[in-house]
Amino acid sequence: MNDSGDGQPPRKGRWGALRHRDFRLLWLGETTSKLGSSMSIITMPLVAVAILDASTFQVSALAALTWLPWLLIGLPAGAWVDRMASRRVMLVCNMVSLVSFMSVPIAAWSGVLTIWQLMAAALVAGSAAVFFETAFQVYMPSLVPKEELVDGNAKLQGSASAAYIAGPGAGGLLAQAVGAVWGMAADALSFLVSTACLLGIRSEAGRKRPTGRSSKGLVRDIGEGLRYVFGDTYLRVFTLNGAAANLALQGFNAVLVVFMVRELDVSPAAAGLTMAGTSLGGVLGAAAVPWVTRRFGSARGLLIAQATAPFGLLIPMAGSGAGLLLVVVGGLLISLGVVVVSVIKRSFVQEYCPRPMLGRVVVSMQFLNYGAIPVGALLGGGLSTVLGLRPTVWLMTGAFVLTTLMLLFSPVRRLRDLPGPSVEEADAGHQPVAP
């Protein structure tokens, strides 16, 4: 991974992790894939509604099916990934996702597409995403030195946030111009770009099965991962905090567009622009992470980012006209804080946990974190039916503020920086591949 070609480590510069060729390829492939996936956020429901005349429940089921695999196969996926070559897992997952999504436009052009095939594509691609995301987090630390891990994760998160701003708009324009199924085809092709980038990476990391992989049974491996997470103070707090925060976040995000249209009387276009404005916070947060961790330390930076949560209470205070700015400001600051917290947590887990069980640790945490997303969405929808939209937004934003107490009253509050590699990792002598 030496870019200079003279056997000497390349000089550090303002580009950070992007100065490493292999990381640049990983970043480019993942950014392209995220852009395609964000286009499908709008094109898949449009295919269901415009071509298949799907019901509201069927459309909502499509969204749920993309997250359901985390609850169904998340835990065993972590154990499997720890036994396999992470790069190979990612390549296979890309091909599975490509075939799944490409089957939709092919079937539509052939006149045989059904809602069941669309749901199957969402479920299969969601299952592949479980394996890909887990393998990705195992693979990523091997491509950059540990002192640039935060910067690398921040750049990945920043480009992902930018993709989630641009993707829905691009998908909508593409659907308007040539049809929604072309958006699905574009998402499929994005996995081809990701695959090409992975194949271009020169590092030998992730090409072979881990030599220290477990020889125990699958159930015992899963149990070991769960015990490790809930037996460690920091991992336990971060997991429970992440699950509670996602539950509250999705509780009001699930009804936010409806709240703006029906309570604030804004047009669908204005609601879409407002959502894009709030997403800018993710880009700003990703850009700020390296500076925050250098200036304040990773632990203090985490707590400072949590201080943006109370601004979420601006959202239920919003009104029509200029009052809509409260939604933009509140949502932007929440998004900024969430991304900073996410990058710091992810970088900590990648460095802190023993490499042979990193996959199990990741999915043990994400099993609860991502599993809370559909639960929160259903909770928000149910509460809005019973209490109304504005009271629900008040309740869920208030709950999100309260989740910050989990970190404020944890051992994190006494630290400047989060701890380094655990005892097991240090004993294993793990070091990231040098650039």
- Confirm whether 14-208 and 217-418 share one CATH topology: yes
Task: Tell me the torsion sign for CA atoms 143, 148, 152, 157.
Answer: positive
Mean pLDDT of all residues in 378-394: 86
Quote the CA–CA distance of 100 and 390 in Å, as a whole number: 39
Per-residue pLDDT band for 171 (boundaries 50, 70, 90) equals: confident
Read off the pLDDT of each residue in 165-191 and give the average, rounded to a whole number. 81
State the Cα–Cα distance between residues 215 and 186, nearest whole angstrom. 41
pLDDT of residue 435: 29
345 against 218, higher pLDDT = 345
pLDDT at 361: 87
Task: Read off the pLDDT of residues 393-427 as tens digits, 9 standing for 90 and up.
Answer: 999 999 999 999 999 899 999 999 999 775 444 44
Higher per-residue confidence, 187 vs 79: 187
Determine the pLDDT at residue 430.
36
d(CA 154, CA 148): 10
Nearest CA to 361 out of 173, 229, 253, 269 is that of: 229
Q: What is the pLDDT of residues 286-324, one digit of tens each?
A: 889 889 999 999 999 999 999 999 999 999 999 888 888
* 162 backbone dihedrals φ, ψ, rounded to 5°: -65, -40
Taken in order 126, 71, 312, 45, the sign of the CA dihedral is positive
Residue ranges of domains in the chain? 14-208, 217-418
- CB-based contacts of 155: which residues, under 8 Å, 6+ apart? 16, 17, 18, 27, 286
* Highest CATH level, class, for 217-418: mainly alpha
Query: Do residues 122 and 62 lie in contact, with contact meaning Cβ atoms separated by under 8 Å?
Result: yes
Residue 349 has pLDDT above 50, yes or no: yes
At 119-163, the pLDDT tens digits run 999 999 999 999 998 898 888 888 888 788 888 888 888 888 788
Reduced to 3 states, what is the DSSP secondary structure of residue 308? coil
Are 345 and 417 contacting, i.e. CB atoms less than 8 angstroms apart? Answer: no
Average pLDDT, rounded, for the chain: 83
Task: Return the CATH class of domain 14-208.
Answer: mainly alpha
pTM, whole model, 2 decimals? 0.74
3 state DSSP class of 254: helix
Question: Can you give the pLDDT at residue 235?
Answer: 93
Average pLDDT over residues 205-224: 67
Task: Tell me what the mean pLDDT of segment 10-24 comes to.
Answer: 72
Give the residue from 352, 342, 350 showing the smallest Cα distance to 420.
352
Mean pLDDT of 41-55: 81
On the question of pLDDT at 251 being above 70, the answer is yes
pLDDT, residue 9, reads 42
Distance, C-alpha 99 to centroid of its chain = 22
Give SS3 for 391: helix
